[in-house]
Structure 1
């Protein structure tokens, strides 16, 4: 009977494997889903314990190749969090009669994983989502597709990829996995309270969300929300949700002691941002549109990338330098915030703006600096100042 407490990462492997359907994923006071066992139905078969990636971690493999890339489709670059790696890969799988499973924002504006089998819906998986997704029955659906002989492409956090692999318990040739280097995930409850607050402020329902809209370029992306009344909200460090996330006060408890760090992974691909690509590739100029770091762990992954290489601009990179400059979260844990418990305690009593202003107050200087950055961007001076700052730092 599964019982690992706060170490649980919420991957849902135990829920998916239970033949008696006696495990439900239910939210705790913070809004994170944890497995709850109906002891009356449980027959103590032990499958849930065997499939848990925390208790039985799969041995990862080192990358065999490292590249920085960007899709050649300009629209996909502009609407992706970084270089748009996912779209050509997803198109390749759909073209070959397969399905893609990744995190989307559904009609209720919740983050959930969904299986996609058509080109029209591929854009739904594009972009970052900083909230833990609802997996629902995705693991079972993925297995059914794999057994049918279809290619399946899965995007997820490392714990989700490891959970899927433990659930399947076999290295299927027609499964392609991509793990996303992350610092952690916020709770769906926090996200719901945040959206309720924004709708109240805008006096309109949410229509569209982009967690990293490149309004001011790749290096200064905003959380953008469009509303039914045509109003648009876009902020970053002075936004209440993003301030909570950036300061790591809202993560799932297991994220502060992540069991899946290191460059050795069980996935085919590991992806993360390429903020400093010019420092470890042959790329000469950063145009502030975004590139993606890709670590390829398997021959299968390398063969697929070679097959669709004409869809990308690809630059070979040095693995160690890529991790040093841009992959800090590949190896390192998110620092635990001592006020984290207080954050969720307050959130259960107050609105998100009140909670953040008590623990992570947004000051006048913060608002002023964000406004200045927007003005400098409109004047075309923001990138120039960044380059001057980099030059000064390089001399020191």
Structure 2
């Protein structure tokens, strides 16, 4: 390991630059990707260390402007997790002959992997939130190939993935539009695969899946699964144990509990997320419907260039970065470290009970644990205020 295991983000940057293939990405006992170094193949060239965003810090950028926005094409807005900005931005990149890289479901929706797409059908695979850590190991070489051809590349990922990519790409960077999304943290791929298998075991093949279906509204997180025989599984956050475990920090990657990239300054050209609190920031009634509103921040000249290209297709209102950080605390606040995380993974490894039952058992906090969570929330509010008001 290049860094402490609990600090590693699994971005795969080290894997992508190794000239002797001495590094492989392997899943640990919790299902998270980690680099494993074969010292017999290692030539001590140091490339992996220079690529690691924890060992070699990426230059961060000031947030220039922040907007609340949504696509004026209603079908795009409703099909998205927030306001549909990713789709509009992707269309612009494709129009200019570029390619888009983002997270897609594969292997019957049990795996999330970054892929590159060049058409509208491909963009649909990348739309929507995926609350699972994606496998990044196969995209770095492809991105560098397209950049060498001087084609625009839109990459969308977590802040740590963007940081890793920026450490790897050194040529033709003026063609790389790196977009980070506001990240709550990444859950274990193994937990997701197991949970989905339990849901799908008595049904036909899955034809579609959304973590953030808007049938019940944007604010009501709702998982929706479409099966081949026409059956539909729908479960909102009040019922869905996987979403509850995710939002409670029960099975996040260890690095998410002390993230190195949730900062006031950012690593991408643009940042996208939910514009929570828009009802407190705007009197525009069109923002107050429950159809989804995106937060977009501009952090570079290239980001500003593409913002100007797409903004005529959006309904927009400029907002304060201070307000954005206040209402979407995941911009700068770490994930909650659930007190029963280690117990959960011990039970999960035994596979004595269904994953859904293990989640339910470990989410049932006692009084001491509830007090711990409340104190943590207060501390995060104070930390958030301090960061927002820092110079």
When the two structures are superposed, what TM-score results if normalisation uses the length of structure 1? 0.88
Matches of 1:180 and 1:71, distance apart in 2: 17
Q: Where in structure 2 are the equivalents of 1:40-79 lying within 5 Å?
A: 40-79=40-79
Q: Distance in 2 between matches of 1:359 and 1:307?
A: 48
Describe the shift of the 1:260–1:3 C-alpha distance in structure 2 as closer, same or farther (beyond 3 A): closer
The answer to whether the aligner puts 1:318 opposite 2:320 as a matched pair is yes
Instruction: Tell me how far 1:354 sits from its aligned partner.
Output: 2.2
Aligned to 1:339: 340
Q: Please give the secondary structure, in 2, of the residue aligned with 1:357.
A: helix
8 Å CA contact 1:281, 1:318 repeated in 2 = no
Q: Distance in 2 between matches of 1:307 and 1:95?
A: 11
3-state SS, counterpart of residue 89 of structure 1: helix
Flag structure 1 segments of 5+ consecutive residues without an equivalent. 363-396
Task: Identify the residue that residue 4 of structure 2 maps to in structure 1.
Answer: 4
Q: Give the paired residue count.
A: 360
* Equivalent-residue separation in structure 2 for 1:98 and 1:262 (angstroms): 30
For residue 392 of structure 1, what is the aligned residue in structure 2?
none
Structure 2 partner of 1:221:
221
* Greater alpha carbon shift after TM alignment, 273-282 vs 329-338: 273-282
What is the rounded CA distance, in whole Å, between the counterparts of 1:171 and 1:270 in structure 2? 21
Q: How far off is 1:237 after superposition?
A: 2.7
1:361 Cα deviation from its structure 2 partner: 4.5
Residue 144 of structure 1 is matched in structure 2 by 145
Query: Structure 1 residue 359 and structure 2 residue 375: aligned?
Result: no
SS class of match (1:262): coil
1:27 aligns with 27
Which portions of structure 1, spanning 4 or more consecutive aligned residues, are displaced by more than 3 angstroms? none
CA distance in 2, matches of 1:220, 1:4: 37
What residue in structure 1 maps to residue 38 of structure 2?
38
Paired residues of 1:26 and 1:35 also in contact (CA < 8 A): yes
Number of the residue aligned with 1:206: 206
Task: Kindly indicate whether the alpha-carbon contact (under 8 Å) linking 1:179 and 1:271 is maintained by their aligned counterparts in 2.
Answer: yes
CA distance in 2, matches of 1:204, 1:241: 21
TM-score, normalization by structure 2 = 0.89
Does 2:158 match 1:189?
Answer: no
Three-state SS of the structure 2 residue aligned to 1:66 is: strand
Q: List aligned pairs for 1:136-285, cutoff 5 A.
A: 136-169=137-170, 172-200=173-201, 202-235=202-235, 236-281=237-282, 283-285=284-286
RMSD value, Cα: 1.5
- The C-alpha deviation readout for 1:164-211, integer Å capped at 9, x for no partner, is 0011135711110110111111111111101110012x4333221100
Preserved contact between residue 269 and residue 301 of structure 1 (Cα < 8 Å)? yes
* 1:280, distance to aligned residue in structure 2 (A): 2.1
> In the superposition, relative to structure 1, how do residues 338 and 171 fare at CA in structure 2: closer, same or farther (>3 Å)?
farther
User: Which residue of structure 2 lines up, in the alignment, with residue 121 of structure 1?
Assistant: 122
